[in-house]
Amino acid sequence: MSFQAYIDNIKAKTGKTPTDFKKLAEKKNFIVDGKLNPKINATEITNWLKEEFKLGHGHAMAIYATFKGKTE
């Protein structure tokens, strides 16, 4: 599955874009000043995405990748 297919599937399932997830992550202080908070590890973020949005691991990692700067 391509990266874009992951993003498209996430939007279809949740109604949210990577930008929407980034805004939510900023509210949780996972992202500070536009960058990943160095005190937070990837597992904390992917667990949040899995628990709150019912994403699978690969889909959660795709959103995490957008937080690291991979484009949509």
What total of structural domains would you count in the chain? 1
Does 43 reside within a domain? Answer: yes
Does 72 reside within a domain? Answer: no
CB atoms within 10 A of CB 53: 17
Tokens of 13: 């399932």
Domain of 63 in residue numbering reads as: 3-67
Q: What is the pLDDT of residues 7-47, one digit of tens each?
A: 999 999 999 999 999 999 999 999 999 999 999 999 999 99
Does 49 reside within a domain? Answer: yes
Please check whether residue 3 is in contact with residue 62, taking contact to mean a CB–CB distance below 8 angstroms. Answer: yes
pLDDT of residue 71: 67
